Each structure stands twice: as structure tokens, then as C-alpha cells.
Structure 1
Amino acid sequence: MQRIYEPENLLEAELLIGMLSSEGVKVHLAGRDLVGAAGELPLQGLLGLAVADEQAEYARALIAAYNAAQPLPGDEPESLPGILIC
């Protein structure tokens, strides 16, 4: 298994797990149980997505596409131009 990504928070982690799982990638979320101790532990590096070695490259490509997503023209609110609102 390879640790391929450190999500910012548990919400992003769950979103990525769902996306990767829908593409047939088996994902393990390391550090899920540590989030409750965030006041006692450093916030960086608590969470990590890990996948099998043979799926690591594909999973990284999917996450890169997720991070590069841009709003479609006309889908963004006028008050927040250039911001992707889901």
C-alpha cells in the first residue's frame, strides 16, 4: 500500500473515498480515529489516503483531476467568480 494523498479534513477524505471507490479503487483512510484528538495532535498529516501499489498511479491521476476542477461557465455565482461551488 502507498499513501497517496493527505486530505485537508474528514469531509474531503470521505468525498475522495467515494470518488475513488466509484472508479474501482480500494481506499484505506489512515488517521480517521485521530481526528477527534485534533486539539492534542498537530493538524497536518493526520489523515492519509492509501491504496494498493498497482492502483496508486491511477488514484493519483483521479485526485489530480479532482484538484484541477474548474466551474463550468455560468455555473458559478456572480458574487464568487472563479470559485467552484458544489
Structure 2
Amino acid sequence: MQRVYEPADLLEAELLLVMLASEGVTAHLSGRHLLGAMGELPVNGLLGLQVADEQAERARLLITAYNAAQPLDSDEPVEVAGVLLC
């Protein structure tokens, strides 16, 4: 197993786990259970995404592409006066 990425928080870790799984890469999140002890442990480096050695390079490429993604122009809400967009 290789540690391929250090997520900033649990939300990012869960998103990346699902994304990797959707691409056929099995990943394990280490450090999830240490988050409750953050008052006594260093904040950085608790979480880590780990994958099998043979999937490490592909996982790194997928995570890099995921982090570099930009929103599409069509995702911008249309301004309509007097209408609340939720």
C-alpha cells in the first residue's frame, strides 16, 4: 500500500474515495478515527488516502485531474430579478 494523497479534511477525503471507487481504484482512508483527538495531535498529516502499489500512479493522476477541474460555464445561475435560487 502507498499513501498517495493527504486530504485537507474528512469531506475532501470522502469525495476522493468515492471518485476513485467510481474509476475502479480501491482506496483506504487512514487516520479517520484520529480526528476526535485533534486537540492532542498535530493537525496536519492525520488523514491519508492509501491504495495498492499497482494502482498508486493511476490514483495520483486521477486525484490531480480532480483537483485541477474547473466548473463549467453552464453551471452559473441565471440572474432573474425577484426569484430566489436555491
CA RMSD of superposed structures (Å)? 1.4
Question: CA–CA distance in 2 between the matches of 1:3 and 1:69?
Answer: 22
* Divergent runs of 4+, >4 A: none
The alignment covers a number of residue pairs equal to: 78
Question: CA–CA distance in 1 between the matches of 2:77 and 2:22?
Answer: 29
Question: Which ranges in structure 1 are unaligned for 5 or more consecutive residues?
Answer: 79-86
For 1:23, give the aligned amino acid: E
Question: CA–CA distance in 2 between the matches of 1:28 and 1:71?
Answer: 27
Matching of residue 61 in structure 1 with residue 61 in structure 2: yes
Which structure dedicates a bigger proportion of its chain to helix? 2
Matching of residue 43 in structure 1 with residue 46 in structure 2: no
5 Å-filtered alignment, 1:5-84, equals 5-76=5-76
Question: Which ranges in structure 2 are unaligned for 5 or more consecutive residues?
Answer: 79-86
TM-score by length of 2: 0.84
TM-score by length of 1: 0.84
* Residues 13-38 of structure 1 deviation map (CA, whole Å, 9 limit, x = unaligned): 01100010111111111101101111
Secondary structure in structure 2 of the residue aligned to 1:57? helix
* Residues 24-66 of structure 1 deviation map (CA, whole Å, 9 limit, x = unaligned): 1111111011011111111100000000000001000100011
Sequence identity (%)? 73
How far did 1:76 drift?
3.9
